[in-house]
Structure 1
Amino acid sequence: MNPSTDRMLNRVKAIYLFIRRKGTVTTQDLVEEFDMTQRTIQRDLNILTYNKLVRSPSRGRWTITNRKVKVS
């Protein structure tokens, strides 16, 4: 796999695990935790949302869904 794709997948996984551990987080929490731009975080959240792994119950707040995930 392409190294940049590998990095992106690891980052998305780390964001998912962070949200799962914290419960509910804001986009700003993610920006500060991962030291990335809001645009990059939003792009990763879009991937997680598309795959029905996270949802936004209110604007700018994120939580995981009940979808079963096997994390390796």
Structure 2
Amino acid sequence: MKPSTDRMLTRIKSIYLYIKKRGTVTTNELVEEFGITQRTIQRDLNVLDFNNLVHSPSRGHWAVTDKKTKIS
């Protein structure tokens, strides 16, 4: 796996775990926490949303779904 892909997957996993721990977070909170651009956060959230791991109960807010996950 390319280093950039590995870095992206690690970041997405970290974002998922952060949201899971905090309950509901805003996009801006994620930008501040991870120190990356809003566009990058949005792309990562789109990956999580596509895989039914997070959802947006209201615009700009994110929460995890009830989908079972196994973190390794």
Q: TM-score range by the shorter chain?
A: over 0.9
Moved over 4 A (4+): none
**For 2:51 and 2:62, how far apart are their aligned partners in 1?**
14
**Equivalent residue of 1:62, what SS?**
strand
Identity of aligned residues (%): 67
Instruction: Quote the residue 1:14 is aligned against.
Output: 14
Residue type of the alignment partner of 2:52: K
Q: Can you give the 5+ residue segments of structure 2 that lack an aligned partner in the other structure?
A: none
Instruction: Quote the residue 1:40 is aligned against.
Output: 40
Query: Would you say how many aligned residue pairs link Structure 1 and Structure 2?
Result: 72
TM-score by length of 1: 0.99
Please tell me the root mean square deviation across aligned C-alpha atoms, in Å: 0.2
Deviations 1:17-63 (A, max 9, x none): 00000000000000000000000000000000000000000000000
**For 1:43 and 1:50, how far apart are their aligned partners in 2?**
10
Question: How many Å apart are 1:71 and its aligned residue?
Answer: 0.4
TM-score by length of 2: 0.99
